[in-house]
Amino acid sequence: MIAALALLGWLALADAGAEEAVPPTPPAAPAPAAEGTNRARAKAEHAQAMAALRAGRIDDAAGLFGQAVAHDPSSAPYATDWGFALAKLGRRAEAEAALRQAIDKEPKRFYAYVNLADLLASDPARWERRDAIVASLEKGLEALKDDRKGRFNLLLALAGFERAVGRTVEARARLAPLLETAGPPLSRLQRKRVLDLLDGIAVDERARSLEDWPAPAPELARGLRDEARAAEGAGRVDDAIRNLEIAVNLAPSDAEAWRALGRLLAANGGALEIDRADDALRNALALEPAWSDLRELRAQIARRRRTAAEPAAAPHAPPPSDKARALYQEAEDWIDVGDPIGMGRELLEQALADSPAFVPAALSLYALAGSVPDPTVAALQDDGPGLWALASGVRKLGAAGKASSGDPEAMDRLIRPWIDRAVVLDVQEARFARATARAAAGDRSGALADLVAYLAREPAPAHLAEARALRSGLAGEAGEPSHDGRLPPQLVARIRLVEDRPDAALRALGGACASGLPAERLVALGLVQEFADQRSAARACYELGAAGGDRTALRRLSGLDARLPDAELQSADRRLIDRGAASGIGAAMWARARLERRAGQDDAALADARAALAAAGDGTPADGWIGSARASERELADGRRASQAARRARQQRAGVLAGALALLLLLALARRRWGGSTVAAALRRHPELFPEVARAIAELRHDVLKHRATALGALAEPHTELADVRRAMTEPHPTSQVVAGLYEKVVQAARGAGVTLKPLAREPVFGRLAADLARAEQRLARPGAPANTELLAIDARLRGEHADRLAALLELAPRTRLDAAVLSSWISGVEAATRRAGLAWTPPGLSLADLQLDFPVGEAALAAIFANLLRNAEAAVADQPESRVVVRLDREQDVTGRPLVTLFVGDSAARAPTLEAIEARESGRGLAIVRDAVRQWRGHLVVRAEPAPLAKLIGASFPS
């Protein structure tokens, strides 16, 4: 029979229309004929129908099947096949009627049951009819209790129907005994069918559990997640878990909620919650494999039973009074016997008059009278459970045909306000019932709103699986992908990951990554590889996706790169890392920062690390690199600060050194510019410099002032040739240079005495003189008429202040005053030295013309002159008897009018040296020294004969 052949393909062809099961319209009634003839014709028509069906001409097949039924109405197989064909054509109501006729004709034949179950599994009205359908199919099972094969097939069909209405638990419970060893043995094929169906049910449950509910479910989930976080912070862990359970039901793709739930359960749950915690963590990891910390948690999770607070007790109407209860009981007794005199109804009305909110009484009255008293409805207005009990009871009565009024629409109009009010009063069952009613009425958005509200109300609602299945059906009706056995590969992969089967997930996605695959598939494969901790394989997938420009792949790749070990990161595609960084992906910036740091580019690494942290903000738990980035940023920043500090220290040291050098240079320049002594100061401290200074001044007066600079004064005369003046001032050498040369001699002499004189420009006598001369020379050198006034002013200064300054310097000539005391002291010194040398000593006599005389000679020089003269005299008389030595001071005036002072030492030795001998250094070393010293001080030696007992005087004479 074709029904068996079509079992597996039926669901795919089922229509979604909701129709009443009406009897099919058979073809034209057969003409009266012999029963055998009709059966023969029916048989032929059935054969033709089968051929048409095989040829895909279903319409023809349905017509021929109908003719066969018309010619042989007693044939259950013909009716079954007719129903099948009608179902394939989408004529659901006719198909159902045909199949039910087949069942009626032959109740122990299973084909019609199976086809009917399959037909109803796709019936849009199955949600409303599910209880009745299951009940009728269970009758079929009873009818087939002796047909093992038929019972098996119907059992699978019934489980399939239950799967279709979300009763997966019941379906699984129905199938499980088939696999028990104690049960009847199954063929391999049968066993496979059971296992396939169980797997399908599991996938359904998974798929439904992973689909997000529509808005406002995601917002509600996020709100609940936030509340959970707050509750956890406040120590209300159970409330946090409760909120998270609801959140994951509302938004199963909310990885954060799964993570938080698993973490909370693992940390706070007891042993009984291990499975739930692990499930939550697997869901979290399936969504975000990068959460490696969750893997560790999976080993230590514990489960804690939720002790969610029950919803606040809704207000209830006052319970029925004892009187009302008694009246109700009496009424039921009358009703049980058929209420022959109407007492049951009267007693019920009395009971309700006493206690209007007495729901059982109201239901009984509805069963009898088809109405509910208004006071009852009013009394239950704020009693949600009571109102729902009334509404559900009325609906069951109506559905069961017990009510007086058989009009379903009238019943629906009656109970709808009550259900709405019960929903307002937060009755979950009412909410779910309204959702199913709305779904049946085609109000998709209303149904989904109710379902979302239903799930949002408690963590484990009684109809969770049914709600998921109903949602799936609603999605399918809206043209979205629905459960049709062909789930998207990504969803299947996610399911397999939740099952901890990454290999199966990879197979679901088609295996390994390869170029040409869609980016979405590559990312999914990468996620699976990440889940399995296969980083290289994951990176290959992401790189393929990112290379194609997919931003999700680029983001995943960046996140993975950020977590790679250094060595592995080196082999990453740098271009993609740069692209990620350019796209503002923090993980890519961090990966690049690590590469740069490894390359020693610390500044670039620091900049990228900071940019990465800024881009990531607080990050998510998946951004496990943030901690490392922060630490690295601190290290790099510390290193930079240390480097900068070192550089600053070096710069400071260099600056200090440069400053010190500059200061030294300035000091040297200052010393050179402002240091040193003036000639006057040097003369005061070092009188021995006077002869050199006096010579320089004499030359300066004679050679510069007298013979050359006086030419400037001639400019006052009109006939003076300028060239003559210029020549006088500049030839053979400029007068300023002559002054500089003379001053340099003084400087050298001073240096020999350990004195540093000021530079010429700063020396107040020589410097100013040289400056004025140089100025005059410059004026004379300029073309055109010279500035006579200025030159004459210079001339005046030369002969005025400059001449005065030079004269003042000469006034500093040292004066050594000699008297008896000074000479005695000097004599004692010579005597001591002579005696120490073992030489003879003739005490000299003193012959002082005056008590004291001033010699224009430095004291040291004069003392040296005297000592040499005295030693020479002592030596001269050393071997003579009656020797005499005398020291004499004399003051006289020479023929030129110069006053002279002379220091004589006379002796009695006959031999007297001549000046020529002294000049030729033949008179003994002492006199040569005397001669040089005397000439140095502008004096001259005198050798004079003396009467006996002396023989001669040798003296040093100086102009005073």
With respect to another protein, which residue has the nearer C-beta, 10 or 855? 855
Name the minimum Å distance from CB 898 to another protein: 6
Nearest residue (CB) to another protein, 728 versus 875? 728
Cis peptide bond upstream of 489, omega within 30 = no
Closer to another protein by CB, 545 or 856: give it.
856
- Retrieve residue 932's tokens: 């040089």
Shortest distance (Å) from residue 842 CB to another protein:
27
How far is Cα 738 from Cα 164, in angstroms, rounded to an integer?
129
Q: Are 777 and 729 in contact (CB under 8 A)?
A: yes
Q: Residue 209 has which token pair?
A: 């559990």
What is the spatial distance between Cα 85 and Cα 339, in angstroms, rounded to a whole number? 48
Report, in Å, the least distance between residue 854 CB and another protein.
14
CA atoms within 13 A on the CB side of 574: 7
Lookup result for tokens 């004679």: 702
Nearer to another protein, 618 or 717 (CB): 717
Q: DSSP letters along 594-636, please?
A: HHHHHTT-HHHHHHHHHHHHHHHTT--TT-THHHHHHHHHHHH
Of residues 816 and 960, the one with the C-beta less far from another protein: 960
CA distance 152 to 468: 28
The DSSP H or E segment spanning 375 is helix 374-379
Distance CA 100, CA 24 (A): 11
| Distance in angstroms (rounded) separating the CA atoms of residues 935 and 956 | 9
Closest CB to another protein among residues 762, 799: 799
Q: Return the number of the residue (117 or 809) whose C-beta is nearest another protein.
A: 809
The smaller minimum CB distance to another protein, of residues 515 and 789, is found at: 789
Give me the least distance between CB of 719 and another protein, in Å please.
5
Nearer to another protein, 648 or 707 (CB): 707
For residue 675, the tally of other CB atoms under 10 A from its CB is 15
* Chain centroid to CA 140: 68
Alpha carbon separation from 298 to 198, 493, 495, 596, 841 (Å, rounded): 27, 20, 18, 36, 125
Least gap, CB of 700 to another protein (angstroms): 9
Q: How far is CA 779 from CA 782, 790, 791, 802, in A?
A: 5, 9, 8, 19
> 336 vs 717, which CB is nearer to another protein?
717
CA distance 882 to 541: 135
Helix axes 625-674, 586-598, angle to 10 degrees: 50
Residues engaged in binding another protein (CB under 8 A): 701-703, 705-708, 710-711, 713-714, 716-717, 719-721, 724, 728, 795, 798-800, 803, 807, 893-899, 914-916, 918-919, 931, 935, 940-941
Least CB distance to another protein at residue 893 (A): 8
Q: Given the complex with another protein, which of 198 and 705 has the nearer CB atom?
A: 705
HSE-up (13 A, CA, CB side) for residue 847: 17
Report, in Å, the least distance between residue 916 CB and another protein: 5
Residue 904 Cβ vs another protein, minimum distance, rounded to whole Å? 16
Contact 802, 710 (CB under 8 A): no
CB of 668 to another protein, least distance (A): 38
Nearest to 303 by CA among 327, 331, 280, 330: 280
Measured from the CB atom, the residue of 837 and 895 that comes closer to another protein is 895
CA 517, CA 933: separation in Å to the nearest integer?
A: 117
Query: Minimal distance in Å, beta carbon 956 to another protein?
Result: 11
CB closer to another protein, 186 vs 915: 915
Separation between Cα atoms, residue 232 and residue 771, nearest integer Å: 96
In this complex, which beta carbon is closest to another protein, that of residue 221 or of residue 765? Answer: 765
Q: By C-beta, is 440 or 803 nearer to another protein?
A: 803
Please choose, from the candidates 816, 888, 811, 890, the residue with its C-alpha nearest in 3D space to the C-alpha of residue 855: 816
In the complex, minimum distance from the CB of residue 868 to another protein, in angstroms, rounded to a whole number? 16
In terms of CB distance, is 283 or 960 closer to another protein? Answer: 960
| Strand duo 940-945 + 845-848: pairing | unpaired
Q: Which is nearer to another protein, 411 or 798 (CB)?
A: 798
Taking the complex as a whole, the smallest distance from the CB of residue 727 to another protein amounts, in Å, to 8
CB of 777 to another protein, least distance (A): 17
E strand or H helix at 944, and its extent? strand 940-945
Shortest reach from residue 919's CB to another protein, in Å:
4
Q: How many other CB atoms sit within 10 Å of the CB of residue 891?
A: 13
Beta carbon of residue 653, minimum distance to another protein (angstroms, whole number): 60
Which residue in 351, 350, 349, 359 sits closest to 392, CA to CA?
A: 359
Q: DSSP class of residue 799? A: I
In the complex, minimum distance from the CB of residue 881 to another protein, in angstroms, rounded to a whole number = 32
CB of 943 to another protein, least distance (A): 10
The nearest distance, CB 819 to another protein, in angstroms, is 23
Is the Cβ of residue 145 or residue 898 nearer to another protein in the bound state? Answer: 898
Residue 468 to residue 396: CA distance in whole angstroms: 24
Please state, in angstroms and rounded to a whole number, the distance separating the CA atoms of residues 464 and 454.
9
CA angle 192/197/198 to nearest 5° reads 100
Beta-strand pair 845-848/816-819: unpaired
**Residue 192: its H or E element:** helix 188-210
What is the per-residue DSSP string for 735-788? HHHHHHHHHHHHHHHHHHTT-PBPPGGG-TTHHHHHHHHHHHHHHHHSSSS--H
